[in-house]
Structure 1
């Protein structure tokens, strides 16, 4: 699907020069201007990349989680600035009495990233399921690194705690909330939450460390207790629907919720709630953008949307594509939407 030959020319450069393997989308608001797949979704099976290939989104999942939380705030089921001890009385009081959902979702809680350290020390735990609160006690209960709200530290552990809060407050599973609050109302028919190995999901690309000279798989398992941190999967077209449905003025969030979601809490990191809001030079002008990035295993993802006029790019890869080159692809495509 391509209506602008300049997009094809741009991508041919990245495919031929850098070996890009994945799917790219460029559009404005809800309209797709360019959507195309390149290379292989499953090299061993000889399955080519298509515009409906599904991808892990890595830490873009954190933005998904923040959107779900904002919907629950609108329903008065949660409050961003209430101590999490209100929801989790069994959690450490010296942490729970001072940390809020806002702290968790802006990575300013001070809770150390013990889950990341544990996954590196023992990769086998990536496929071991635990009840949510047991995972919180094991991997998200370390002594605070700093007073909540005073510094920034990127910690997956925040999202283990946030998921526990959400599921206790609603008495529903997080995957059910994603389905009812996002997937169904926005028509995200190729998106969802996976657990275990993403390769078990129908239509999913396989993650690779490299494709040449021989394919080498790189798939990192994810238990359900980490679903907020990295469990969302989607297609390029669904990510456009998602960003448009969340960020447009008449979308699924109220004006207040949308502003709260995108308001930067940690200026030195441009970090809002679950993702970034950055002002960047695009096509010769400074433009405020929703700025989402993610990775897991061989997957890399980039999603950008200018907040004023809805110009959007999505870049999805499954073969450990270089991060700098990934950014170059996104920058070039976004600039081209203004040509």
Structure 2
């Protein structure tokens, strides 16, 4: 059984380490880089001025938003309440290892940490532990695309061939950025391509990961005509990140650090290399459950670095900062935030039975459980939509936006409620769907709170 280490104090009294991010990846050398960077900086300043001006027009200052009373907190969400006891019980049975953070309007409601980041070295998980995010990383990619649409550098309606060469005509000429963002491109998951795992095991640089993955995608046929169906696609989001890099003339990793993590105040978030993952005690190792029930450390089998489709690394508090930065229009001007969060494609609502399984290593988990979570009373979504990145659900007549994902030894979930500005973050180093019942119960309690 894992050694459980619950955080017994409120998260607001625990300050993240704010470790300075070490540049593990060299910037891609570019001709005329000074001009490109100057242009990007000017764009960033213009974005900030636009967002500030629109916020002022709403009579809305940052001070107003940060100091509002969080309002009444349901007993079930407080320390010692229903959710707290439920997670503690899961951890005691070795069914949960990770961190939980719930905030309202930036104030901590509940923060807990259980389990071990590295069992061999006896390193416990703390609120500052970094976790692989799996496909929750796609939220950053969607924001990056929206930022460039806002600046006129990209168009949602443009085809992939407008920005990338070397792709077959059926992709280059017919798949649009809209298709990629909504998983309606017809592309699938390159991890399932013959030879991918063997090739990925040999990659030792970020460029090899990005370019090698792109080479596999170039050889993938479409499963259906773009727009004709919905198929979750890691390949589509890799293409989106590659387009961001090509248009901006810098690496995807540098763009994410400079234009998303830094403005959101996510000082501990980064794309971590496999060698650092193995040696850094502040990063949770992935523990994969075997048929025998034993959990085995699988960090040695990981790809050199994550991609725009999955495996950035973050803490619960940094993901809370990201959610609030997005909801408060700090990353995008308000119309583009609304565009990103707007429902694009209706999704079916499961009514019973176990949650659907996605075969991809970083495939999604729906943001809500198929069956009511423990405690009952889960208000079922009245409607669900694929947005540009997250899944949006109408729950108790209010919008909530989230993304759940997982892989062997990785399970993550984030849920954002614009009404009341609730944020739920659950990160785990156990297998896919570990966080599902925790997010489900937390979402029920928040929905009841209103």
TM > 0.5: yes
Q: Are 1:25 and 1:236, in contact at CA under 8 Å, matched by a contact in 2?
A: yes
Aligned ranges 1:221-232 → 2 under 5 Å: 221-224=302-305, 227-232=307-312
Q: Distance in 1 between matches of 2:330 and 2:124?
A: 34
Structure 1 unaligned spans of 5+: none
Aligned ranges 1:48-197 → 2 under 5 Å: 48-113=124-189, 115-118=190-193, 123-129=197-203, 130=208, 132-196=210-274
| 263-272 or 12-21: bigger deviation | 12-21
Following superposition, the deviation at residue 173 of structure 1 comes to 0.5
Following superposition, the deviation at residue 163 of structure 1 comes to 2.2
Q: Distance in 2 between matches of 1:183 and 1:235?
A: 12
How many residue pairs match? The answer is: 329
Q: Distance in 1 between matches of 2:169 and 2:268?
A: 41
SS of 1:157's equivalent? helix
Q: Are 1:62 and 1:229, in contact at CA under 8 Å, matched by a contact in 2?
A: yes
Runs (4+) of structure 1 exceeding 6 A deviation are none
Following superposition, the deviation at residue 223 of structure 1 comes to 4.7
Q: Assess, with a 3 A threshold, how the Cα gap between structure 1 residues 19 and 136 changes in structure 2: closer, same or farther.
A: closer
TM-score calculated relative to the size of structure 2: 0.67
Q: 2:440 aligns with which of 320, 325, 331?
A: 331
Q: Distance in 1 between matches of 2:229 and 2:294?
A: 44
TM-score calculated relative to the size of structure 1: 0.88
Q: Assess, with a 3 A threshold, how the Cα gap between structure 1 residues 206 and 35 changes in structure 2: closer, same or farther.
A: same
SS of 1:302's equivalent? strand
Following superposition, the deviation at residue 80 of structure 1 comes to 1.3
Structure 2 unaligned spans of 5+: 1-8, 11-77, 349-384
Q: Are 2:326 and 2:337, in contact at CA under 8 Å, matched by a contact in 1?
A: yes
Following superposition, the deviation at residue 334 of structure 1 comes to 3.3
Q: Are 1:194 and 1:201, in contact at CA under 8 Å, matched by a contact in 2?
A: no
Following superposition, the deviation at residue 10 of structure 1 comes to 3.5
Deviations 1:14-70 (A, max 9, x none): 323563211111111322221111111111111111000000010001111001111
Q: Distance in 1 between matches of 2:165 and 2:116?
A: 49
Q: Assess, with a 3 A threshold, how the Cα gap between structure 1 residues 122 and 173 changes in structure 2: closer, same or farther.
A: closer
Q: Distance in 1 between matches of 2:173 and 2:392?
A: 29
Following superposition, the deviation at residue 311 of structure 1 comes to 1.3
Q: Does 1:44 align with 2:130?
A: no
Following superposition, the deviation at residue 238 of structure 1 comes to 0.5
Q: Distance in 2 between matches of 1:254 and 1:171?
A: 23
The match for 2:88 is 12
Q: Are 1:195 and 1:231, in contact at CA under 8 Å, matched by a contact in 2?
A: no
Aligned ranges 1:255-266 → 2 under 5 Å: 255-266=334-345
Rg comparison, structure with higher value: 2
Q: Are 1:30 and 1:244, in contact at CA under 8 Å, matched by a contact in 2?
A: yes
Tell which has more relative contact order, 1 or 2 (C-alpha 8 A, sep 6+).
Answer: 1
Q: 1:203 aligns with which of 282, 305, 308?
A: 282
Q: Are 1:209 and 1:218, in contact at CA under 8 Å, matched by a contact in 2?
A: yes
Following superposition, the deviation at residue 5 of structure 1 comes to 2.8
Q: Assess, with a 3 A threshold, how the Cα gap between structure 1 residues 13 and 112 changes in structure 2: closer, same or farther.
A: closer
